[in-house]
Amino acid sequence: MAADNQQYDELAKQYGFAPVPESVSRLTQLVAQQYADLDEIAAVIQSDPVLTKRLLRVANSHATCEAEYTIDTVEQAIMRYGMGGALILAMGTPLALALQKAFQTMIGLKLEQFPAHQLVGVNGEHMRGSIGFSGKVNGHVYLRMTLQSSRSVAASIFGCKPEEMNNADEIRDAIGELLNIMTGNFKSNLCDSGLDCKLEPPKVGITDDYSTPIERGGGIERIAFRAGSIHPFVEVTANPWHG
């Protein structure tokens, strides 16, 4: 795990985003243990206000704001969602870093993370990419963005102007490659933490369905980003120790 933390620190210096906090690293180590102590996990989460806020957001996934939360303490969230919620919490930061790295290395775009509830214009048809993973942990990662954002991203990858990017297959291929790189880094992080898994081929297409099936026994987290007019967001849902 020390080597993994060092890799994150190097990426943070190179691309200008924050390294993984010690509390997240510790939480990841704990959830990788099938018989981890839930009290110890709760203590790690409670020691970090950011982790606490994220756990409550995961536990109240159907709420649109904090005023609608029906679960408002770490103890309640852990009792109701157990290791599934803690797993999603531990996976969120590596997933965010993986997406930031993919955008930075492929198209030189620095993504800024911001609260998902501030997303605007995310309705109607959009581009959705998904990759499933299975093994010690089962789940899916979804990458969504507007059609215009998808066209702009594909144009950057192919080195042309967005208005010249009209081939739907090429746009899907570009988003699929971006998703492959992102989840490849993410998978490496999971395996380094003891959550061995393998990836399925990516699926990319246009949809107007924003519903996300939650893995049984797991949870879901949405993480939003922006860079100019491009507003991608990712969702991860997983079930711990399925295998």
The CATH code of the domain that includes 89 is 3.40.1550.10
Q: Residue 140's domain spans which residues?
A: 2-240
Copy the structure tokens of residue 230. Answer: 């491009």
pTM for the model: 0.79
Residues in the chain: 243
Over range 160-172, report the average pLDDT: 91
pLDDT bracket for residue 221 (50, 70, 90): confident
Q: What angle do CA 108, 118, 75 make, to 5 degrees?
A: 105
* Rounded distance between C-alpha atoms, residue 84 and residue 234, angstroms: 18
Which residue has tokens 């180590």?
29
Section 83-107 average pLDDT: 82
Give the tens place of pLDDT for each residue, 120-160.
Answer: 656 789 999 999 988 878 889 999 999 999 999 999 999 89
Q: How many domains does the chain have?
A: 1
Contact criterion met (CB below 8 Å) for 97 and 17: yes
SS3 233: strand
Residue 78 confidence (pLDDT) above 60:
yes
What's the average model confidence in pLDDT over 39-57? 88
Per-residue model confidence (pLDDT) at position 1: 41
Non-local (6+) Cβ contacts of 117 within 8 A are: 64, 65
* Cα dihedral across residues 139, 145, 151, 156: positive or negative: negative
